[in-house]
Amino acid sequence: MPHVVTENCQDCRFTDCVTACPVACFHGDGERLYIDAKACIDCGACIPRCPVRAIKEDFDLSADEEEWAQINALRAPGLPVVRAKEAPLPGAEGRRAALGLN
């Protein structure tokens, strides 16, 4: 079962996760990242790297989060691969604080 980037990534994009991925399966738009479900090998290396706990295994998604599996699978293939850590988006630290994850 592939790993999935969920709601907490929105407007954060700390991108610590991409440096852990051995198969470069993170893709991004201007607001967040998505995991390519067909490329993910389920190694789990990205999960502890995300400072806002946005990445979950497919089977670990709550009912409210299940839609993210399809969103990742649909969006990732059409977006550029993100391989290197980038500067976080301007509101990223504030959003992390609002989520209580500082």
Residue 41 Cβ vs ligand SF4, minimum distance, rounded to whole Å: 5
The 3-class secondary structure across the chain, one letter per residue, is CCEEECHHHCCCCCCHHHHHCCCCCEEECCCCEEECCCCCCCCCCCHHHCCCCCEEEHHHCCHHHCHHHHHHHHHHHHCCECCCCCCCCCCHHHHHHHCCCC
Q: Which of residues 52-91 bind ligand SF4 (CB under 6 A)?
A: 52, 54-55
Q: Does 16 bind ligand SF4 (CB under 6 A)?
A: yes
Query: What is the closest distance, in whole angstroms, from the C-beta atom of residue 46 to ligand SF4 in the complex?
Result: 3
Residue with token string 């059409």: 78
Q: Output 41 or 66, the one with its CB closest to ligand SF4.
A: 41
**Residues of span 18-47 touching ligand SF4 by CB under 6 A:** 20-21, 23, 25, 33, 35, 40-46
Where on the chain is the footprint of ligand SF4 (CB under 6 A)? 3, 5, 9, 12-17, 20-21, 23, 25, 33, 35, 40-46, 49-50, 52, 54-55
